[in-house]
Amino acid sequence: METTSEPWGITPSGERVKLFTLSDEITVKISNYGGTIVSIQAPDRSGRMGEVTLGFNTVDGYINSDFYLGATIGRYANRIANGEFYIDGEAYKLAQNNGPNHLHGGIKGYDKVVWDAELLESGLRLSYRSTDMEEGYPGTLEASITFTLREDRLELDYLAVTDNPTVVNLTNHAYFNLAGGGSVLRHRLWIDSDRYSPVGENMIPLGKHDVVEGTPFDFREATEVGGRINDGHVQLERGGGYDHNYVLNQISNPQIRVTEPESGRTLEVSTTMPGVQFYTGNFLDGSDKGRNGPINRRSGLCLETQFFPDSPNQPDFPSTILRPCEKYIEKTVYRFTTES
C-alpha cells in the first residue's frame, strides 16, 4: 500500500484542495473537496487496469456539478419530505433543494465543503465539523470517514458524534461503470434484498416496503440492470428508471454484487447499514463534461449504502436520530474482483 498527496486547486472561497492517491491491487484517488472518490482503477480479467467510476480531472468539475459524483453525502443522504422534521417535538426546517424536498444535505452539503485530511499508514482520514444549524440541522456534528485500502478492498469507516440531538445519514455517491465507458444497462446486478421502498410522485417513500418478488425490482438472482428497466412498472416510471431504496436482508456478506460481462470486472459491496439506494443515473444528461467526455444518462450506477430515505418522518423506519451520548459508526466495503 502506498499513499501520495498533491495540491489539486483552490475553491472560489480560497480553500486549498488536495488529491490523495492510495495504491495497492487497485488505485484509488480521493479529494478532500467533498470527501470525493475521484477515481478507482481496477484490473479486468486479463489484469488490464481501467477506470471504474465517473468523474472529472479537475476540482472545478466537482465544484460546478450538481450530480454528486463520488462525493460524501451528509448530513442526511437522500430525501427528507418537505425539508422538515421533528426531534423531541421541536420542528426543524431545511432547504427544499429538490422540488418540495430536501436532498443530500441541502444547498451546501458535505459534498461541497473542504474536509480536513490526515494521511494514515493504510489510507486517509477525512474529517468535517458542521456547526449547529448549518443547512438547518441542529447540533454540531463531528464527522470522519476513514478510507482504508487493503489489496482489492476499499473500506469506508464512518464515525460521527454530536453535541445535541440531530439526524445523520452518511453515504458515498460514487457512480460505477465497470466497463470504463458507455451505458451500465448490460451490467449484471445481484442484491440480497427481498423488499424495497416504493415512492410517491415526489420520490418520498410511501412508508411500507413492498416485496421484490414478481417485479423488475427483484435482483435476488444476478440479472441485467437494463433487462426490465423499460417494462412500464409504475415505480420505474416514477424514478425514470431505478432510483429506489432496498432493504438489505443483512444475512450475506457481501450483500451486493455487480459484474460487467465483457471485462469480467466485479464489484462487491458489504455494509453495516440497513439499506442501499440503487440509482441508474437517470438524471445524468450529458451536460457535465467528465474525464472521458459528456456524462450521459445511465452511464453510471450508484449503490448508496444508507439508512432509509425520509426516516426522520417515517415512524416505521429505523431511527436516524443521533444523540450526544451515542456514536454513529457505520462501515461500507467495496471489493473489486473479476469473474472468469
User: What residues are labeled active site?
Assistant: 173, 304
Of 20, 242, 279, 307, the one binding ligand GAL by CB under 6 A: 279
Least Å distance, CB 121 to ligand GAL, is: 32
Of 44, 134, 192, 304, the one binding ligand GAL by CB under 6 A: 304
Of 179, 177, 173, the C-alpha closest to 156 is 173
Least Å distance, CB 103 to ligand GAL, is: 6
Candidates 22-30, 56-64, 153-161, 276-284; binding stretch for ligand GAL (CB under 6 A): 276-284
Contacts (Cβ under 8 Å, ≥6 apart) of 328? 143, 158, 159, 160, 161, 168, 170, 322
Q: What is the dihedral of CA 30, 261, 272, 36, to 10 degrees?
A: 20
CA 166/CA 87 separation, integer angstroms: 7
Grouping H, G, I as helix, E, B as strand and the rest as coil, residue 83 is helix
Least Å distance, CB 99 to ligand GAL, is: 10
CA 207/CA 311 separation, integer angstroms: 9
Helix then strand count (H, E) for the chain reads 2, 30
Measured from the CB atom, the residue of 99 and 227 that comes closer to ligand GAL is 99
By the rule CB under 6 A, 103 interacts with ligand GAL? yes
CA 189/CA 26 separation, integer angstroms: 21
Measured from the CB atom, the residue of 20 and 67 that comes closer to ligand GAL is 67
Least Å distance, CB 324 to ligand GAL, is: 29
User: x/- binding map, residues 213-252, to ligand GAL, per CB under 6 A?
Assistant: ------------------------------x---------
Measured from the CB atom, the residue of 77 and 149 that comes closer to ligand GAL is 77
Size of the site for ligand GAL (CB under 6 A): 9
Q: Which three cell numbers stand for residue 1?
A: 500500500
CA 190/CA 173 separation, integer angstroms: 19
Measured from the CB atom, the residue of 143 and 302 that comes closer to ligand GAL is 302
DSSP secondary structure string for all residues of 313-329: G-TTSPP-EE-TT--EE
Measured from the CB atom, the residue of 20 and 33 that comes closer to ligand GAL is 33
Measured from the CB atom, the residue of 16 and 108 that comes closer to ligand GAL is 108
Candidates 126-134, 135-143, 277-285, 322-330; binding stretch for ligand GAL (CB under 6 A): 277-285
Least Å distance, CB 282 to ligand GAL, is: 7
User: x/- binding map, residues 281-300, to ligand GAL, per CB under 6 A?
Assistant: --x-----------------
CA 42/CA 180 separation, integer angstroms: 10
Q: Is 116 buried (19+), middle (13-18) or exposed (0-12) by CB count in 10 A?
A: exposed
- Find out whether 256 and 276 touch, Cβ atoms under 8 Å: yes
- Find out whether 103 and 81 touch, Cβ atoms under 8 Å: no
CA end-to-end span of the chain, whole Å? Answer: 26
- Find out whether 168 and 75 touch, Cβ atoms under 8 Å: yes
Least Å distance, CB 6 to ligand GAL, is: 28
By the rule CB under 6 A, 277 interacts with ligand GAL? yes
By the rule CB under 6 A, 67 interacts with ligand GAL? yes
User: x/- binding map, residues 118-137, to ligand GAL, per CB under 6 A?
Assistant: --------------------
Q: Which three cell numbers stand for residue 173?
A: 455517491
For ligand GAL, the binding residues (CB under 6 A) are 67-68, 103, 243, 277, 279, 283, 302, 304
